[in-house]
Chain A
Amino acid sequence: SQQGEEDPQALSIQEGENATMNCSYKTSINNLQWYRQNSGRGLVHLILIRSNEREKHSGRLRVTLDTSKKSSSLLITASRAADTASYFCASSGNTPLVFGKGTRLSVIA
């Protein structure tokens, strides 16, 4: 299985702090993707990093990818209460996206 696994399972921070979530996967990939899920809603795509990329930015999001360690991290800078959600990584090879269990992020105002 190339399933992504996020770490930590839950994270609680104060508004304004940075949040870092990690993800590991098992097999070779074409890309790795991060998604956000608000409670009871669908997943929303945040950012995609290709296997030949090492870092990518989108607004307050920064994603890194280390294919030698089969790991990725998502950094949310200057967090806001509205960032409270579950965050999932998903690895993509030649099979459909496989999601991990997610990190539940709580940002306290």
Chain B
Amino acid sequence: EPEVTQTPSHQVTQMGQEVILRCVPISNHLYFYWYRQILGQKVEFLVSFYNNEISEKSEIFDDQFSVERPDGSNFTLKIRSTKLEDSAMYFCASTLVGTGQNSPLHFGNGTRLTVT
């Protein structure tokens, strides 16, 4: 069964550094998402992406965050200047159609970001 893959599985970075988290969504999916989960907490929506542009974003997704689909397969999340509170698991997800159209999310296994 096709799956969403994320790399790296664990990223350690120093405060103020830039990080890029990478995702390869399922190949025929059209909608892409980033969520994050601070250890032991709820899963929080960051951003959704469709047709090469951001369709929705949350309050968490401020100017230090950006997303890109640089080619036909990768979907990246960039954090420009990391803060300690950015430490979390970051999950990429994809769907064939929008979730409001009764389509479940397919998640990757996440990247654990540790900011020191």
Q: Chain A: residues with CB nearer than 8 A to chain B?
A: 30-31, 33, 35, 40-45, 48, 50, 88, 90, 92-102
Contact = CB atoms under 8 A, between A and B. Distances in A.
B109 interface: yes
Interface stretch (B14-22, B41-49, B69-77, B80-88): B41-49
Of B42, B45, B91, B101, chain A has the most CB atoms within 10 Å of the CB of B42
A66 B86 CA distance: 37
A48 B41 CA distance: 23
Interface string B74-116: 0000000000000001010000000111101111111010000
A48 B104 contact: yes
Contacts of B108: 42
A38 to B, nearest CB: 10
Nearest to A48: B104
Interface of B: 4, 33, 35, 41-45, 48, 56, 89, 91, 99-102, 104-110, 112
A94 B99 CA distance: 8
Contacts of A33: 99, 104-105
Of A41, A97, A100, chain B has the most CB atoms within 10 Å of the CB of A97
Nearest to B45: A96
Given A43-B105, A44-B107, A92-B99, A97 B45 contact: yes
